[in-house]
Amino acid sequence: MARSLRLSALRTLAFGLAGVAGLSLAPSSASAEQFINVVTGGTSGVYYPLGVALTKLYIDAMPQVRTSVQATKASAENLNLLQKGRAELAFTLGDALSDAWKGNAEAGFPKKLDRLRGLAAIYSNYVHFVARADSGIKTLADLKGKRVSVGAPKSGTELNARALLTANGLKYSDFSKTEYLPYAESAQLIQNNQLDATLLSSGLGVATIRELAASTAVVIVPITPEQIAKINQPVYQNGIIPAGTYHGQDADVQTMTIGNYLVTHSKVPAEVVYKMTKAMYTHLDSLVAAHSAAKAIDPAKALRGMPLPLHPGAEKYYKEVGLVK
């Protein structure tokens, strides 16, 4: 009885600690050998709710597997965690993934992350250039002398912002104040009139901007095809944020898009990755229920632009459904 009570207390403590860093969705079996830690982004973004939904699918598909979802600073941190074996699945933006596979020190990858393996291309991020309506900001050039958040350091958002601004002749030092903050914190400072604008890379309909636009007069500033072309990297494409996506947005807004990917590492067993891949594509409705961005996840597009080798487990699934010969 005493041993049972001690084990119960330890489980309760472990769950409480997991809740600090992320959300534990692990079954109680102490005999489970495989652990799947899904690293995402800030809790107010798209990665996190999709990560939670995926872990629930994994439990159903593999009852013996222990899972957790961890909130992080997103792309660069996630990929480094994978390389170190401290996560089994990561959400990332395509430019960060390409930089990690090549080993781009400026992007936060001093060495090539050679353990990374692809699982799927999922949906596109849209760069949301959001400004207070009373800031006078109508173009990228208007950011000079303004208070701007460019995203958490080395996050996908910050890498996107740096690429866009640099290509169009802007430096962080051109701003009167530069903040490196995640979505929610950036929105809060805009609401409090402590920031003028932020560049935020996310799926359409991100809750942070919906809530901000409902409480504060903001504008979604266009990013033009000409500005995107100056970056001269094929991972960045033209896109549209449709009218009505956010409160007060009465017209379509041109913007920049970039693909998101799910990535694992070479040490995760092939059969586990196979089941992870299959569970996602056979239960897409669960992901859509978690966030509308998942409507864009399509197995026919799973290999689009993949900048690194597929994991053998994912490849097995794609062969099974005829996407890979």
Query: DSSP string spanning 239-259?
Result: EEE-TTSSTT--S-EEEEEEE
pTM of the model: 0.76
Calculate the CA dihedral of residues 131, 137, 141, 145 and round it to 10 degrees.
-90
Distance CA 63, CA 58 (A): 8
Distance CA 120, CA 22 (A): 23
Mean pLDDT of 312-321: 98
Give me the pLDDT at residue 5, please: 39
Calculate the CA dihedral of residues 184, 252, 288, 302 and round it to 10 degrees.
-100
CB of 128 closer than 8 Å to CB of 200 = yes
Q: Residue 157 belongs to what H/E stretch?
A: helix 156-167
Distance CA 287, CA 57 (A): 9
Amino acid at 36: I
Mean pLDDT of 171-192: 96
Residue 27 has pLDDT above 60, yes or no: no
How confident is residue 305, by pLDDT bands cut at 50, 70 and 90?
confident
How confident is residue 3, by pLDDT bands cut at 50, 70 and 90?
very low
Question: Alpha-carbon Rg of the chain, whole angstroms?
Answer: 20
Average model confidence (pLDDT) across the chain: 90
CB of 242 closer than 8 Å to CB of 251 = no
Terminal CA-to-CA distance of the chain, rounded, Å?
A: 56
Mean pLDDT of 300-321: 96
Instruction: Collapse the DSSP code of 300 into the 3-class scheme (helix H, G, I; strand E, B; otherwise coil) and give the result.
Output: helix
Give me the pLDDT at residue 31, please: 41
Categorise residue 84: left if φ over 0, alpha if ψ from -120 to 50, beta otherwise: alpha
Distance CA 240, CA 41 (A): 23
What confidence tens digit (pLDDT) does each residue in 253-290 have? 999 999 999 999 999 999 999 999 999 999 999 999 99
CB of 96 closer than 8 Å to CB of 180 = no
Bridge partners, 241 (sequence order): 253
Does the domain made of 2-123+260-320 have the CATH classification 3.30.565.10? no
Mean pLDDT of 88-98: 94
* Homologous superfamily assigned to 125-258: Periplasmic binding protein-like II (3.40.190.10)
Give me the pLDDT at residue 107, please: 84
Mean pLDDT of 76-89: 97
Q: Which of 308, 271, 278, 239 is nearest to 94 (CA)?
A: 308
Residue 17 has pLDDT above 70, yes or no: no
Of residues 86 and 157, more confidence is placed in: 86
How confident is residue 132, by pLDDT bands cut at 50, 70 and 90?
very high
Q: Which of 17, 87, 75 is nearest to 46 (CA)?
A: 75
Distance CA 253, CA 240 (A): 6
Read off the tokens for 131: 């400004």
**Least confident span in 16-30, 150-164, 179-193, 296-310:** 16-30
Of residues 258 and 32, more confidence is placed in: 258
Residue 2 has pLDDT above 60, yes or no: no
In sign, the C-alpha dihedral spanning 245, 247, 251, 256 is negative
Mean pLDDT of 17-30: 43
CA 320 to chain centre: 28
**Residue spans in the chain of domains classed CATH 3.40.190.10:** 2-123+260-320, 125-258
CB burial of residue 171 (10 Å; 0-12, 13-18, 19+)? exposed
